[in-house]
C-alpha cells in the first residue's frame, strides 16, 4: 500500500480532468497537495473536495507557460511546506488542426503550455530536489507523441516531453531523483468530451479494452511512481491506455 504521508506534491492543471483525479489520489494517500491551475474557482473546488475527504491541500494560481509564474509556484511551495517531494506536470491544452492550415498562434500556444510549461516548473523544482537529493517528477505526455492526424503541434510538444523526461532522468539519477512520463490513451475528461460525438465513438472503438479510461486509471500509476517502491524506476515512458498503444 502506497503511503505518501509527510510528502508534498505539486500538481499543475489540477482544477479538473486528469489533474484533479491525480490531486485527489495523492491527497487520499496522505500527501499535502498544491493544486495549481489557471482556473481559480475550479482549483478551489478541488481543494475543498480534498479537505472534505480529510486530506490536506491548498491552491495556487499559475499559468505554467509563464516562467516567472512557474518559479513562483515552486518558491511558494518550498516556502510554505519546506519541500517538494513530487512534481506532476499535467497542465495541457490542444488546438487541433491540419498542418497545412495550422496558424503560428495555434502552434505556439500548444508548445508554450505543453512543452515549455514542463521545462518552466522542472528547472526550479530540480534545483530544489538536487539539494535535497530526493524527488519524483512525473510528466504527462500522450499516446499522440507517436503521431496523430490533426495534432502536429500537440504531438510535437508531447514528443518533446518524452525527450525532456529522458534527459532529465539521466541528469538527475545520481541525485536520487526519478523522472518518468506517462502517456494516457483516451481518457474521459472535458478535453476529450469537447470532440464531436462521432469522433468520440471512433476513438473509443480504437481502444482494445472498448472503453475510455478514467482519470483514476492515470492517477493510480502516478501514485505508484511517487512511492518509495518505485525508487529504481526512471526515464520510463508508461502507457495508460487500455492497450491503445503497444
Nearest to ligand NAD of 49, 132 (CB atom):
49
Looking at 189, 226, 234, 239, which residue binds ligand NAD (CB under 6 A)? 189
- CB of 31 or CB of 64, closer to ligand NAD: 64
Least gap, CB of 85 to ligand NAD (angstroms): 21
C-alpha cell at 139: 510528466
65 interacts with ligand NAD by CB under 6 A: yes
Nearer to ligand NAD, 176 or 245 (CB): 245
Count of chain residues binding ligand NAD (CB under 6 A): 29
The 25-64 contact track toward ligand NAD, x by CB under 6 A, reads ------------xxx----------------------xxx
- Contact between 105 and ligand NAD by CB under 6 A: the answer reads no
Catalytic residue list contains 154: yes
Residues 75 to 104 in contact with ligand NAD, rule: CB under 6 A: 90-93
Full DSSP string of the chain: ----TT-EEEEET-SSHHHHHHHHHHHHTT-EEEEEES-HHHHHHHHHHHHHTT-EEEEEE--TTSHHHHHHHHHHHHHHHS---EEEE-------B-GGG--HHHHHHHHIIIIIHHHHHHHHHHHHHHHHT-EEEEEE--GGGG--TTBHHHHHHHHHHHHHHHHHHHHHGGGTEEEEEEEE-SB-SHHHHTS-HHHHHHHHHTSTTSS-B-HHHHHHHHHHHHSGGGTT--S-EEEESTTS--
Contact 24, 53 (CB under 8 A): yes
Contact between 55 and 27 (Cβ < 8 Å): yes
- Is 221 a binder of ligand NAD (CB under 6 A)? no
Q: 18, 29, 118, 122: which one contacts ligand NAD (CB under 6 A)?
A: 18
Stretch that binds ligand NAD, among 48-56, 119-127, 190-198, 228-236 (CB under 6 A): 190-198
For the CB of residue 5, give the shortest distance to ligand NAD in the complex, in Å. 26
Closer residue to ligand NAD (CB): 6 or 163: 163
CB contact set of 216 (below 8 Å; sequence gap of 6+): 21, 25
Closest separation between CB of residue 240 and ligand NAD, Å? 9
Q: Which positions lie near ligand NAD, rule CB under 6 A?
A: 12-13, 15-19, 37-39, 62-65, 90-93, 113, 117, 140, 142, 184, 186-187, 189-192
Catalytic residues: 154
Amino acid at each position: 500500500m502506497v503511503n505518501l504521508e509527510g510528502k508534498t506534491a505539486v500538481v499543475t492543471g489540477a482544477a479538473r480532468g486528469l489533474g484533479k483525479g491525480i490531486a485527489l489520489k495523492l491527497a487520499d494517500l496522505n500527501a499535502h497537495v498544491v493544486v495549481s491551475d489557471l482556473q481559480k474557482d475550479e482549483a478551489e473546488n478541488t481543494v475543498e473536495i480534498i479537505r472534505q475527504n480529510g486530506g490536506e491541500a491548498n491552491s495556487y494560481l499559475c499559468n505554467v507557460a509563464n516562467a516567472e509564474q512557474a518559479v513562483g509556484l515552486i518558491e511558494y511551495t518550498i516556502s510554505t511546506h519546506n519541500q517538494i517531494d513530487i512534481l506532476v506536470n499535467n497542465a495541457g491544452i490542444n488546438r487541433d488542426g491540419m498542418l497545412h492550415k495550422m496558424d503560428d498562434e495555434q502552434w505556439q500556444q500548444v508548445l508554450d503550455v505543453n512543452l515549455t510549461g514542463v521545462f518552466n516548473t522542472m528547472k526550479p523544482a530540480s534545483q530544489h530536489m538536487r539539494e535535497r537529493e530526493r524527488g519524483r517528477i512525473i510528466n504527462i505526455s500522450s499516446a499522440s507523441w507517436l503521431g496523430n492526424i490533426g495534432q502536429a503541434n500537440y504531438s510535437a510538444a508531447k514528443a518533446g516531453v518524452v525527450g525532456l523526461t529522458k534527459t532529465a532522468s539521466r541528469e538527475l539519477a545520481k541525485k536520487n531523483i526519478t523522472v518518468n512520463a506517462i502517456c494516457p490513451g483516451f481518457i474521459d475528461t472535458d478535453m476529450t468530451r469537447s470532440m464531436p460525438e462521432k469522433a468520440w465513438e471512433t476513438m473509443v472503438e480504437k481502444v482494445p479494452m472498448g472503453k475510455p479510461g478514467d482519470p483514476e486509471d492515470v492517477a493510480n500509476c502516478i501514485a505508484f511512481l511517487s512511492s518509495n517502491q518505485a525508487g529504481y524506476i526512471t526515464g520510463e515512458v508508461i502507457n495508460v491506455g487500455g492497450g491503445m498503444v503497444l
